[in-house]
Amino acid sequence: MAELLSKRAYEESIAKTRDQRMEWWREARYGMFVHFGLYSQIGRQEWAMSVENWDVKEYEKLADTFLPEPGAPRKWAELAKKAGMKYMVLTTRHHEGFSLWDSKVNPYNSVNYGCKRDIVREFVDACHEYGLKVGFYSSLMDWHHPDGWRCAFDTEARRRFTQYIKELNRELMTNYGKIDILWYDVSAPMESWEGWDSLELNQMVRGLQPDIIINNRSKLEEDFSTPEEQITAGDKDWEACMTFNGISWGYVDSVQAAPYSYNAQGILRMLCQVASGGGNLLLNIGPAPDGSVPPEAVGPLTQVGQWLSENGAAVYGKKLPTPCHGTPSAICSTTYDGEKLYLWAKITPPNGEIALGGFDTPLKSVRKLSDGSPVEFTQKGHRIVLKAAAPDPIANVTVYELTFDGEIRHEHCSDYPQLHGGYQHFVK
Ligand code: GLC
């Protein structure tokens, strides 16, 4: 192995290649998270073994009944493609410690037990079949390995355990071809990158996969941050990971989860939020014990995929923080690519007019994004009024592409319209 770089040298080194490595990811915007493991059979949550105080020997029995149907990963990828997603991240081994691949380091795996299949291999093949980038989720925490907790206070146990984690990830980075994303989770019980030997671990990973991008959960900043169950823009690359129902990452009963699950408009709202903040959305499904996709997710994901096929320019590709200060209208949100302002109208007013305040730059043209049809508008001072097009038939979110004559200057109007026409910000 090449000489181990110091933290400073390592971070300088990966900074040099970050833009090239991240280019596809920054344009992809949208991926599918898949939480699948022994916990899927329990149907309560992926933390069941821990929060429900399972006896390890009792929990291990779930390995014999881990029986996903043949072709299950292909169904996940098929749905991700239909949804307009560009990459997938699979829990290759969650905190329960069960590996979904043919591991020589961890015999507690899906080739030795249950279905006796390499689910990771099937997942990678499915991603390739559907032209999706490949992401591996890899938990650092482990409730099955005897050193998984002792490592926090026993030097020898820590050495053994960090070596175990390193070898698990070496297998994943060696045996499945090009891997695009390594998505670490829960660096516990050690609490520092030094405790995890993350510097050595990640240099090994990057040595095997030079173009890979790594998240921030091995206690090193790496390539992107991971706000969870919230959409909070970061000052560097960031990806919001979200459950589909706000309840569990793992499978829960579909009929009972459906009322809590996102509909198409809820997913579009998140896509607008991440795109307007220059981040990504990793939206989760928790397949059932047989590997089937949760039916409550299929409709909304497919609907959004159809919408994206006509309005993708407002989501995918380079996006900058929106130039609008505050929202130019309660019924609209915006995304921005540095040239076009995309106005997402969630409501089409009955009088057929969408009015926007605060724009100090002349508006040149407006098109309905989905079909390119021109949209009539007026602009008097800072007030723009669009003649609304027919509402989008797929998800009732209609996107207008606005082209301004130069840099967009926008200020949220004051609360007192009588003040200088409401725009004291622009008055010299
Ligand atoms: C949290 C949960 C873990 C889940 C992860 C997804 O870390 O502990 O179960 O896989 O979020 O981001």
pLDDT tens sequence across 249-298: 999 999 999 999 999 999 999 999 999 999 999 999 999 999 999 999 99
Report how far apart, in Å, the C-alpha atoms of 266 and of each of 35, 186, 205, 277, 353 are: 21, 27, 36, 17, 24
* 139/186 Cα distance (integer angstroms): 6
Ligand 1 pocket: which of 249, 251, 252, 283 to mutate (most atoms <8 Å of CB)?
249
Are the C-beta atoms of 369 and 407 separated by less than 8 Å? no
Ligand 1 atom closest to Cα of 217? 7
- Residue 185 Cα, ligand 1 centroid: separation in angstroms? 7
Are the C-beta atoms of 152 and 158 separated by less than 8 Å? yes
The string of pLDDT tens digits covering residues 292-333 is 999 999 999 999 999 999 999 999 999 998 899 877 788 999
Selected residue with higher pLDDT from 167 and 382: 167
Ligand 1 pocket: which of 96, 142, 185, 218 to mutate (most atoms <8 Å of CB)?
185
Kindly indicate the confidence band of residue 73, based on its pLDDT and cuts at 50, 70 and 90: very high
* 59/325 Cα distance (integer angstroms): 52
Report how far apart, in Å, the C-alpha atoms of 263 and of each of 182, 248, 260, 302, 395 are: 29, 17, 9, 11, 10
* 35/49 Cα distance (integer angstroms): 15
Report how far apart, in Å, the C-alpha atoms of 52 and of each of 40, 149, 316 are: 15, 17, 41
* 303/84 Cα distance (integer angstroms): 10
Angle subtended by helix axes 295-311 and 264-276, to nearest 10: 50
Are the C-beta atoms of 282 and 241 separated by less than 8 Å? yes
The predicted pLDDT at position 412 comes to: 77
- Residue 145 Cα, ligand 1 centroid: separation in angstroms? 19
Are the C-beta atoms of 109 and 96 separated by less than 8 Å? no
The string of pLDDT tens digits covering residues 196-219 is 999 999 999 999 999 999 999 999
The string of pLDDT tens digits covering residues 368-412 is 999 999 999 999 988 999 999 889 999 999 999 999 999 999 987
Considering Cα of 247, then 250, then 256, then 260, what sign does the dihedral take?
positive
Please report where in the chains the tokens 């020997």 appear, as a residue.
57
